Chains A and B, each alone.
Chain A
């Protein structure tokens, strides 16, 4: 059973935010939703939690249309953060737990559990308006899922967090996944998606560009990538790289002296070519990095969404 989105269409005046978007997220999976700004990620998430009504299309959870399900089926962390600033953290969490229908007797225990999970004990009795951005985000995350919903929707959960809090959030996501929660989250940080997600969906212009397990999406471009670096480069190494370019392979230089050499699957006999290349590389210097892999999600994203989206993201 799974979360199924079928042919979602949503217009805001002249703007068509979703154009027949369909998606299936397996139960218990952590699923990433990626795409450029304005692709329809937030509208999709809002449609799932029913604060936006699609003009067409249906959404099902476990075979049931979402409009027939209790509201507590979902937890939602919106992109724009917001809590009651004058309330104390403990009161705020109790309020959202009760609003989501949790029985009163189990609320205090849940507050303690999330305080432990997100290391919030020292802020429980402070007012929200006195918290740092990171701490406020922890509180909002806890408020969104304190009732342990079967489906949790997180819109840009890692934005604005420092590395320590990012790690804390990832741990919390893993914890919820282990408890059986189905999690859909959006992010512009591909490394988070690669690290956490079982599957992902890339959307652009309100349509699905590609979806599936992370490995499958990375292979979808049909491109192989070799990451190569020498301890010390000299003219022979450059000559080797130039020869690869002449053979039609793509060669680009990354950070820390790492070369990205890519070619289309089927363009060469990969295993044999790789063996030959490794021999050639070791003959011109000491190889410190040799990794035959698929394009990173970021490369897939850029390739599939296009340079224009990259520019939009950079501007944002």
Chain B
């Protein structure tokens, strides 16, 4: 890469990272990330603030302890949000509790759970079913002379195994990058949204930069010292570097939030909640893919944004000339959203291989599933080729339209760009 490209890239980088908008955006993004990371914990805390309390009158004896044992064996996320406490008196309703539960044995020997209250929430009934059913089954087994352990094994969940078509490759060690646990749909959507928003945001930075340079006529000074292609590549490189720095800052903030939640803060929150908390991290490989697809996407969209905005004669006119990249980027976003429910669908698979929209869709597929390595490689290859060809095309348009003082069309710019200087 020529020296001029680096000089221009450095200027773009400095201009961008010293701008108020960039600093403000980075700060707001970091705060939003922190808030998003901690929000689930606080929501849990809010939910845990007022769990319904049920006063238990255990007339059968020892059943409440068995219910608590069943509850403790459940994963934290599946534990019912109900607090069971022994009733102060067996004769009257406990006024400090929301409901009263009587556990008694009926004439045929069955255990019976009777909930008494003015209005009984369905969630409490579900929670009761959840912890009472194993107790009732164990009790029936004992009465029938069946070993409780045998009875428990009969109730063990069915074995479900997941096999992926790419598993063979993974086993062969070829696809070390496509294994690993996928993230949840919400997190995948958030990350894809981040990719989409940064591509759009930095695309608009390119548009503003090009129209400002054209408008201020500094471009004429630049063109004497650098070729149009160097101007374009330097601009994209500088802006991409600034955006990757922003990603890195956000990533660092996210990592700190993650570590805090896993560490001392997590313990404190667990104690506060009275239950362990589960934090969902983003696999490192996914962070790598986010960076890769941003770079590939930005190289294509950035070049397209630069070329289309150079067709405008004034900054106000650029909104009319940048529709091609806007349409493509919105199409990519829509296809990525449609791919969220079923990332292995034919729509998702095909669109992840298409130019321009591929990075967004393939990122969603990688975040939510384990697409075959061949498809990932193909998608990356298509995106890289798209970026290269778009850059070449953009250079030609850029060359022809930078010095134009009147709005021009794509066809005219492409025609003239072929024979323009340098």
Contacts and interface: CB of A to CB of B under 8 A. Distances in A.
Nearest to B15: A86
B225 A78 contact: no
Interface SS of chain A: loop
Nearest to A72: B225
A75 B11 CA distance: 20
B217 A82 contact: yes
B221 interface: yes
Interface string B50-86: 0000000000000000000000000000000000000
Interface stretch (B132-140, B240-248, B414-422): B414-422
B223 interface: yes
A76 to B, nearest CB: 4
A71 B217 contact: no
Interface in B1-25: 3-4, 7-8, 11, 15
B226 interface: yes
Contact of A83 (B7, B218, B227, B420): B218
Contact of A76 (B11, B218, B224, B227): B224
A41 to B, nearest CB: 15
Contacts of B223: 51
Nearest to B8: A99
A87 interface: yes
Given A51-B421, A52-B421, A72-B225, A99 B4 contact: yes
Contacts of B217: 78, 80-82
Given A50-B422, A53-B421, A95-B7, A80 B220 contact: yes
Query: Which residue of B11, B218, B421 has the most chain A CB atoms within 10 A of its CB atom?
Result: B218
Contact of A143 (B216, B221, B226, B227): B221
Interface residues of A, number: 29
Interface in A74-96: 74-76, 78, 80-87, 95-96
A50 B399 CA distance: 12
Contacts of A95: 7, 11
Contacts of B227: 71
A96 B216 CA distance: 16
Contact of B216 (A85, A99, A101): A85
A98 interface: yes
A264 B218 CA distance: 48
B225 A82 contact: no
A74 B226 CA distance: 11
A144 interface: yes
A50 B421 contact: yes
Given A51-B421, A86-B15, A99 B222 contact: yes
A49 interface: yes
A83 B215 CA distance: 10
A140 interface: yes
Nearest to A80: B217
A50 B420 CA distance: 9
A82 B218 contact: yes
Contacts of A51: 220, 223-224, 403, 421
A49 B7 contact: no
B15 A71 contact: no
Query: Which residue of B8, B225, B403, B420 has the most chain A CB atoms within 10 A of its CB atom?
Result: B225
Interface string A117-141: 0000000000000000000000010
A135 to B, nearest CB: 16
A98 B226 CA distance: 11
A80 B223 CA distance: 14
Nearest to A53: B421
Contacts of A143: 221
A82 B221 contact: yes
Contacts of B87: none
Contacts of B226: 71, 99
B210 interface: no
A128 B192 CA distance: 40
A74 B221 contact: no
A82 B211 CA distance: 13
A84 B223 CA distance: 14
Query: Which residue of A51, A83, A85 has the most chain B CB atoms within 10 A of its CB atom?
Result: A51
Nearest to B402: A51
A30 B220 CA distance: 22
B421 A140 contact: no
A99 B9 CA distance: 11
B401 to A, nearest CB: 13
B11 A140 contact: no
A218 interface: no
Given A86-B15, A99-B4, A99-B226, A53 B221 contact: no
Contact of B7 (A52, A81, A99): A99
A57 B8 CA distance: 32
Nearest to B225: A99
Contacts of B367: none
Interface in A129-176: 140, 143-144
A108 to B, nearest CB: 16
B219 interface: yes
Nearest to B218: A82
A96 B224 CA distance: 10
Contacts of A100: 225
Contacts of A140: 221
A75 B224 contact: yes
Nearest to B420: A53
Q: Which 10 A-B pairs have the closest CB atoms?
A: A82-B217, A53-B421, A82-B218, A78-B220, A76-B224, A80-B217, A82-B216, A99-B225, A51-B223, A49-B224
Given A49-B224, A83-B218, A84-B11, 5 more contacts: A71-B224, A78-B221, A83-B221, A84-B15, A99-B222
10 contacts: A51-B220, A52-B421, A71-B225, A78-B217, A81-B217, A84-B11, A84-B218, A87-B15, A96-B221, A143-B221
